[in-house]
Structure formats: structure tokens, C-alpha cells
């Protein structure tokens, strides 16, 4: 697995065209109930869902709430329940992180456990699907689309597909169309210019309307302001991370103890994260955005948001 370098940077977009795969824009477009037909078109082609699944699509809150204050809270870009009860979460991931596989497992597990109520039978669990669009190369092979289930690879036997994780690596998409609508949707997401969006859309009405919505957000001053605030936050966060690392190193070195160094780094990073979170909240960023950018638990960010 190679998750060291993103293929396309996610920053520097405030004054340029914001592509559909930019996570904040992706969420605005596909989590809007008014665009449920666009979400349905994307899911039908990428996940090959049957028509009966797409009769209705429910878009609940993208938080999976923790049971206890110290529990983790999962926050997704888009979460949807199909007409047959399938649970689908969608993540647009722009930059690689070493714990991404574990995060996907946690997301999938939270979807399964959230369905269980007291007295419920295990047989009532609906399929939980985690769909990830990665804007970087994650696996060292040529496959564009990976599908993971509980499977014995030695005996080639599948235990269950009640949990299904799809990972699509956009940089691996062929430059030449293959005649499928899946290729068009993925090319739309990977587009870097309005012209590339139009080329991907062709005569498909759903992708054409999706391109129109993307253009509308690109021209929206309020959305641009939110992007600018997020860009400032990311730059400030990087600066604070560097300072916290140096402070932690100095503290550990001064104490002459390796554990002092580790504790200093950890303490400095925690104080930095809390400080950055407070600043981001004061700029109007949402709890889930702040949690995703700082690494703090959403419950902790929610507590900070209630501070006077």
C-alpha cells in the first residue's frame, strides 16, 4: 500500500476552479436532498445498485453518534439509506493518511452497530457499504476499483458481504473513455476544469446537471468565503503543528529524557489542536469540519463549541 503522496493537491483553490472532488464541494452537491437524483445516478453506476434500491434515498445526519462521552463519533461526507435499507457512506479523501484503512473499518463497524436495537435479530442487519473516492494512489497495482468483504483468501471463501468497502483511486482512471457511465461519473469527479466536466457529461442529464451545480457553487461568494476561511485554517494548522513539534522537542531535550520528548510533543500537539479548533469554530466552521481537520474527537470539538 502506497499512501505517502497525494497526486493532486487540495489547496490553492480559492481563486481557481474548485473541482467536484474537493471534499467540501462534493459534500455540498451530493448531500443536498434536492440533488438526490444526482446521488442516485452516481451510486447506480459506481456500485451497480439495482433499480429498486434507488426508488427512494434518505439522507440522514452524517454523524454516527457515540453512546458514551469518551466514545469516537464517525463523521462522513455523505450518508444515505436506500429504499431496501442498505446503508451507504461516501468519503472523498484528498490526501493520504496512514490510518485510513483502520478508519474505513471503524466507519463500517459503526454502520452495522447503529442498526442494532435491544432485542433485534442479527439477521435484520442490512448491508453496510463504505464508498471511498481517493485522489491518490493507495494500492500498488493497476486496479481502479477495489472491493473488500470478509473473505478467506486461502480457501477463496466469503463469510459475508454484509460489510462492503469500495475504494476507487481516481488517478488510475483511464484517459480514454470505455463507453460506460461509470467512467463518465469518475471522469466528472476527477475533472480539473469546466471543460473536462462537460466532456465527461456528454449527453447524460444527471452528470450535466451535476456540472451545473458545481459551476453554481464556484460562482457563489459565500462558498468562496468558506473556502478562504478553510485555506487560512489549513495554513495556520500546518504552522502550529511545526511549532508544537519544535516546542515538544525542546522540552524533551531539556529534560534529557526520551519519554520527556515524547510527552512534550504529545502535549504540544494537543494544546495546538485545541487552540486551532477554537479559532476554526470562531470562524464559523462546523464541528465535523473542525474534527476532520484537527484530528480531535468530534465530541471534544462539540464541547469546545459550547464554550463562552
Residues 132/91, Cβ–Cβ less than 8 Å: yes
Q: Say whether pLDDT at 90 is over 50.
A: yes
Which range scores top for mean pLDDT: 139-143, 223-227, 281-285? Answer: 139-143
Pair 87, 125: CB distance under 8 Å: no
Look at residues 306, 308, 232 and name the one whose alpha carbon lies nearest to residue 276.
232
pLDDT at 304 over 80: yes
Percent with pLDDT over 70 in the chain: 76
pLDDT of 268: 66
Average pLDDT, integer, range 169-194: 95
Q: Which is more confident, 193 or 228?
A: 193
Confidence of residue 273 (pLDDT cuts 50, 70, 90): confident
169-207 core/surface letters (b: 16 or more CB in 10 A; e: else): bbebbeeeeeeebbbbbbbbbbbeeeebbeebbeebebb
Residue 71: per-residue pLDDT: 38
Task: Single out the residue of 234, 228, 226, 300 nearest to residue 270, CA to CA.
Answer: 300
pLDDT band at 10 (very low <50, low <70, confident <90, very high): very low
Residue 160 pLDDT exceeds 90:
yes
pLDDT of residue 244: 64
The average pLDDT across 148-170 equals 95
For residues 129-155, average pLDDT: 95
Mean pLDDT, range 207-220, rounded to an integer? 94
216 has a pLDDT exceeding 80? yes
Read off the pLDDT of each residue in 154-162 and give the average, rounded to a whole number: 94
63 pLDDT more than 80: no
Q: How many CB atoms lie within 10 A of CB 265?
A: 18
Could you give the CA distance from residue 299 to residue 303 in angstroms, rounded to a whole number?
6
Q: Tell me the mean pLDDT in the region 69-81.
A: 58
pLDDT of 138: 94
pLDDT of residue 50: 85
Q: What is the pLDDT of residue 278?
A: 81
Report whether pLDDT(4) > 60. Answer: no
Across the strands, what pairs with 164? 129
Highest mean pLDDT among 33-47, 73-87, 257-271: 33-47
**What is the per-residue pLDDT for 76?**
54
167 vs 94 pLDDT, higher one: 167
DSSP code of residue 12? S
Q: Examine the pLDDT at 3 and tell me if it is beyond 50.
A: no
**pLDDT value at position 188?**
97
**% of residues, the chain, pLDDT over 90:** 40
Q: Write out pLDDT tens, residues 101-113.
A: 999 999 899 889 8
Q: Sorting pLDDT into bands at 50, 70 and 90, what band is 237? A: low
Average pLDDT over residues 36-47: 92
Amino acid at each position: 500500500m502506497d499512501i505517502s503522496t497525494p497526486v493532486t493537491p487540495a489547496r490553492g483553490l480559492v481563486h481557481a476552479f474548485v473541482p467536484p472532488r474537493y471534499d467540501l464541494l462534493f459534500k455540498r452537491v451530493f448531500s443536498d436532498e434536492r440533488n438526490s437524483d444526482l446521488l442516485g445516478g452516481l451510486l447506480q453506476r459506481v456500485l451497480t445498485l439495482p433499480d429498486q434500491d434507488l426508488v427512494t434515498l434518505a439522507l440522514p445526519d452524517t454523524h454516527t453518534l457515540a453512546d458514551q462521552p469518551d466514545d469516537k463519533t464517525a463523521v462522513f461526507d455523505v450518508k444515505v439509506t436506500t429504499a431496501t435499507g442498505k446503508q451507504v457512506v461516501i468519503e472523498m479523501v484528498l490526501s493520504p493518511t496512514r490510518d485510513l484503512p483502520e478508519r474505513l473499518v471503524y466507519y463500517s463497524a459503526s454502520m452495522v452497530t447503529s442498526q442494532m436495537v435491544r432485542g433485534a435479530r442479527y439477521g435484520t442487519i442490512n448491508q453496510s457499504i463504505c464508498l471511498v473516492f481517493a485522489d491518490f494512489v493507495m494500492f500498488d497495482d493497476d486496479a481502479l476499483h477495489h472491493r473488500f468483504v470478509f473473505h478467506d483468501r486461502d480457501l477463496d471463501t466469503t463469510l459475508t458481504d454484509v460489510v462492503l468497502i469500495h475504494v476507487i483511486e481516481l488517478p488510475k482512471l483511464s484517459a480514454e473513455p470505455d463507453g460506460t457511465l461509470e467512467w463518465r461519473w469518475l471522469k466528472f469527479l476527477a475533472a480539473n476544469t469546466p471543460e473536462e466536466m462537460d466532456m465527461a457529461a456528454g449527453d447524460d442529464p444527471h452528470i450535466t446537471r451535476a456540472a451545473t451545480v458545481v459551476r453554481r457553487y464556484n460562482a457563489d461568494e459565500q462558498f468562496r468565503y468558506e473556502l478562504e476561511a478553510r485555506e487560512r485554517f489549513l495554513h495556520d494548522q500546518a504552522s502550529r503543528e511545526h511549532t508544537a513539534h519544535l516546542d515538544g522537542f525542546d522540552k524533551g531535550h531539556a529534560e534529557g529524557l526520551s519519554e520527556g520528548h515524547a510527552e512534550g510533543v504529545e502535549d504540544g500537539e494537543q494544546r495546538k489542536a485545541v487552540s486551532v479548533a477554537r479559532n476554526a469554530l470562531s470562524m464559523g466552521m462546523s464541528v465535523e469540519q473542525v474534527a476532520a481537520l484537527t484530528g480531535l474527537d468530534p465530541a471534544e470539538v462539540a464541547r469546545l463549541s459550547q464554550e463562552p
